[in-house]
Amino acid sequence: YDKKYLSGRNLEGVDFTGVNMDCANLDHTRLKGAKFVRASGDGATFRSADALGVDFLEAALVGADFRGADLRGAIFQAAVVESSSFASAKLAGSNFNEAVLSR
């Protein structure tokens, strides 16, 4: 797959565990229930993505862009999300326990 051409796709429930998704464009993508456990997504964009319940456990997401994404119920536990943007994102019920928000 080419990370540059994932925008707008239906990737619901896909398991990206441990995958390098650095700089991937996932804007407007349907990701409901997908797993990015211990994945690397530095600089990735998830703008306006439908990402309900996505699992980002221990993922590296430095500088990721989640503006306008629906992240309700998402798991960011122990994830590194420093310098990431969550402007206008829906975050109700999301888990940021032990997440690194800044250094």
Q: Is the predicted pLDDT of residue 3 greater than 90, yes or no?
A: no
| Residues 15-68: tens digit of each pLDDT | 999 999 999 999 999 999 999 999 999 999 999 999 999 999 999 999 999 999
d(CA 81, CA 60): 7
Q: What is the pTM of this model?
A: 0.94
Every domain of the chain and the residues it spans? 1-103
d(CA 43, CA 26): 11
CATH, domain range 1-103: 2.160.20.80
Question: What pLDDT was estimated at residue 28?
Answer: 98
